[in-house]
Amino acid sequence: MLDDTARAGDTQLTELGVAAAAAAIRRGDITAESYAAALLRQARRNSDLRSFITIDESAVLEAANVADKARAAGSTAPLLGVPVGIKDSYQTRDLPTTLGLKALKEFVPEADAEAVTAVKAAGAIVFGKNNLVELSYGVTGHNDEYGQVRNPYKRDHLSGGSSSGSAASVAARIVPAAFGGDTVGSIRIPAALTGVVGYKPTTGRWPRGGVAPVSHVLDTTGLLARNVEDCILVDQIVGRGAIVPPSESSGLTGARFAYAPEYYLKLVASDVEQQFWETVRRLRAAGAEVVEIDLGDDFSGLADRTAWNLFLRETQQAVTRFLRENDYPVSFDDVYHGLKPQLHAVWSATVVPGAPAYLSDEEYAATLAVDRPKLQQRLGDVFARDGFDALILPTTPAPAPTIADQWEFSVAGEAVTHLFLSRNTVPASGAGIPGISLPAGLTSSGLPTGIELNGAHGHDQELLALARRVESVLGTLPAPL
């Protein structure tokens, strides 16, 4: 009964987003300490989600107390006193950085990741380290050592990955936002499956220093939040973007969207397809133009070849260099031999030099010199040549499968594997263009679905501004029960 009373009292606080909480703290409407305490209680209530690997409660409360003193002294820092989650692939100098691996359970690096440094300088508090798939190598949220991350909307369903804990903690109102990483969809997939906003900047826009890599060509840091406004605020701080004022236009009059059903809707769950067409209807009703386009018969092969070739070929070199340059107490071989059996088998077949499916130097060079530029041109034409503001698509072709069926499940009567969840996110990753997943609604069984907007390379601020207008049309999801 006491916990029910505390929960009711906490709801107003835990529902606050980043911008709203920061404003309330600056005005003196709430204290950073009371806000942090409410979030810590929410974390305890939802510990079964396994969304965090590490939370130092006393450190969070101490940092909040420091923020309150700074506010009293006149600080107007943009994120003053706001706790955020940090995916445990980001280095933190005051908390262990495990990369999702058992061998690094106690390892504390000497320096913060660059993105962490940026938000701390803006007044934010590191709430804890979010659970993730080992070395960000997977899309389901499964971790052998730290547990399967569960979906706050239905706990027997998965959260998506690899930024699984980041997404689940934001959806569960444990933190207002959390950092993630995206190589082939690792921010956008869990965002869609847990009903939050997932922002993948243009590759290279946000700093990646101090974040464990998979592919230096594809990797990008990014954010999971509950509204677009918070993504815009953090983008201004981490991506050093200019301030994007809210649009004064009502609805979406003048906005032009393209959709490509031959690829993005070729095989989708019925609930996802229904939600997509409802989204299209609502965009048109708000004044937008939504036009069907064809990306070409070879688009599927081109997108898959580009992204997966780079993903698998660059892992060994990227991980080896990162561990060595940041003084980790393990080597690539140590990591490889300590992987869970399923992931070890994947690396043995594709990632380790000399493996049966290891990409040759010639094939790798062709991917970089031929396939990737061709994919970039194909998607770039949607914006530069054809004049569309965004490409719109279902973020994932299916809602979250059950945890029991996460490796193989069926979509529209066809058997698929877990990697099918990344089918729609892969093209934007291969091309390096920005993408943002917005909640589209709930399925008949109560699971979230997402709608993704892709924008032109480097036009992140325009995409975010458009996403804010789309969000005003689509609305947000109710909190999980």
Neighbours of 108 (CB within 10 A): 12
Which residue type occupies 103?
Answer: A
* Gyration radius of the chain over CA positions: 21
- On whether the CB atoms of residues 142 and 161 are closer than 8 A, the answer is yes
Which residue type occupies 416?
Answer: V
C-alpha span between 165 and 417 (Å, rounded): 21
Nearest Cα to 292, choosing from 268, 272, 316, 264? Answer: 264
Please report where in the chains the tokens 């992931």 appear, as a residue: 343
CB within 8 Å of 313: residues ≥ 6 apart: 215, 358, 359, 364, 367
Which residue type occupies 25?
Answer: I
C-alpha span between 187 and 190 (Å, rounded): 6
Catalytic residues: 87, 162, 186
DSSP string across 349-410: IIISTT-TTPPPHHHHHHIIIIIHHHHHHHHHHHHHTT--SEEEEESSSS-PPBSTTSSEEE
C-alpha span between 176 and 197 (Å, rounded): 11
User: Exposed e or buried b for every residue in 85-98, given b needs 16+ CB within 10 A?
Assistant: bbbbbbbbeebbbb
C-alpha span between 428 and 430 (Å, rounded): 6
C-alpha span between 4 and 376 (Å, rounded): 52
- The beta strands (E) that lie in 21-139 are given as 52-54, 83-87, 125-130
- On whether the CB atoms of residues 465 and 235 are closer than 8 A, the answer is no
Please report where in the chains the tokens 């009371």 appear, as a residue: 34
DSSP state of 89: T
Nearest Cα to 194, choosing from 175, 221, 220? Answer: 175
Beta 52-54 vs 125-130: how paired, if at all?
antiparallel
